Amino acid sequence: MKTFVALAAVLFAASHLLADTPPATATPSGEAKVVEAKPAAPAKKEEKAKVEKEPVIPGTTIARPNGTFLGLEVVGVNFKLSFYDKKKKPMAPDVTRALARWPNTRGSGDNRTVLNPSGNSFMGTKPVIPPFTFNVFLTLLQGDGDEAKAVENYVVPFRG
How do the pLDDT tens digits run along the chain, 160 residues long?
677 666 666 666 666 555 555 555 555 555 555 555 555 655 555 555 556 788 899 999 999 999 999 999 999 999 999 999 999 999 999 999 999 999 998 889 999 999 999 988 999 999 999 889 999 999 999 999 889 999 999 999 998 7
pLDDT at 85 (0 to 100): 95
C-alpha Rg value of the chain to the nearest Å: 30
Which domains does the chain possess?
Answer: 2-50 (no CATH), 60-158 (2.60.40)
CB-neighbour burial class of residue 60 (10 A; exposed 0-12, middle 13-18, buried 19+): middle
Calculate the alpha carbon distances from 127 to 45, 48, 76, 112, 119 in Å: 48, 43, 9, 10, 20
